[in-house]
Amino acid sequence: MKLLGLSINFFSIDHDTEYFMNIRNKVAVVTGATGGIGLSVANYLIDKQVLAVGLVDLSDQCLNLPDSLKHTTGHPNIKSFCGNVCDNDFRKSVFNTLQSEFGPVGICVTAAGILRDGLAVQTARESGDIELYSDRHFRQVMEVNLIHPVYWSMETIAGIADKQRQDGIDRWNPEMGVQAVNIMIGSVSSRGNRGQISYASAKSGLRGACTTLNKEGLRYGVLTKIIHPGFVDTQMVDQVDAAYYDRYLKPDIGLGRKIRPREIAECIGGMIENDPLTGEVWASASFRPFA
């Protein structure tokens, strides 16, 4: 496979080995599924013949996506869910629908995210007043980029825990194999970044949440992992001013380019299928300002 421009076999999977998850019997859910990383992950999972996949997005473009993907891939079990990932009732309805039709969710990739960049403290151009970053924007970014992935991951763990309760399983043991994997989308900005007080805070918070959920989720055989992409060629990253990117950011990217969404999807695929890979993955294309 090709990973960030390099042909390597690090993530090649031998499904006869007990330490690798075979995703073909897993039900997947992907948020932010209409574009960027989310859509690439959905296509990756479909290519790998996941049992079923739920595609979640706020955009109504999500409604037509299953028919399009069924036509191009021939995969029969693709469903769309259009709604707000921060809404508790919506989240529960997605998991309940998938479980009732196909079984409990075994792969959850929370790719939905937003940017609301701005300096933490700045001087207003016209009045000269000192202004703080909008608390409304801060809360919105935290809801989408931190609370949403945490609760969708928790929902995955809960579904597996409930299935084990119904099956009379008191506690998971390694001989049963990994039951589910959550993949959170972090960021190189989790280390802090100028102009991203809300985004950096949310992504940094994910690191602690991921470690906590991984420790707790293992009681049920559920792994929670996090990947930190650098600048990926998506609509969200395109919100960064092009001149600013070319002058201040691109020179610090070792590979000299934005990462393709498919490359991140392949990294995520390796994280899903490779059970021993439980640490943080930095897919930064050698972005160096935080080194």
Cα dihedral: 66, 225, 264, 139 (round 10): 80
Q: Which residue would you say has higher pLDDT here, 4 or 262? A: 262
Question: How sure is the predictor about 18, in pLDDT bands with cuts at 50, 70 and 90?
Answer: low
Cα Rg of the chain (Å, integer)? 19
Percentage of residues of the chain with pLDDT beyond 90? 70
pLDDT for 19? 61
User: What pTM was estimated for this model as a whole?
Assistant: 0.88
- The length of the chain in residues reads 291
**Pairwise pLDDT comparison (12 vs 20), residue with the higher score:** 20
Q: Do the Cβ atoms of 204 and 163 come closer than 8 Å?
A: no
The 10s digit of each residue's pLDDT in 153-196 is 999 999 999 999 999 999 999 999 999 999 999 999 899 888 89
d(CA 211, CA 201): 16
Least confident of 31-40, 74-83, 154-163, 254-263: 254-263
Instruction: Return the CATH number of the domain spanning residue range 2-11+22-283.
Output: 3.40.50.720
Mean pLDDT rounded to a whole number for the chain: 89
Greater pLDDT, 19 or 148: 148
104-140, pLDDT tens digit by residue? Answer: 999 999 999 999 989 999 998 889 999 999 999 999 9
Confidence of residue 238 (pLDDT cuts 50, 70, 90): low
What residue ranges do the domains of the chain occupy?
A: 2-11+22-283
Q: How far apart are CA 224 and CA 160, in angstroms?
A: 13
- Does residue 171 or residue 250 have the better pLDDT? 171
pLDDT (average), residues 218-223: 97
Average pLDDT over residues 70-87: 96
DSSP structural state of residue 14: -
The phi, psi pair for 289, rounded to 5°, reads -65, -20
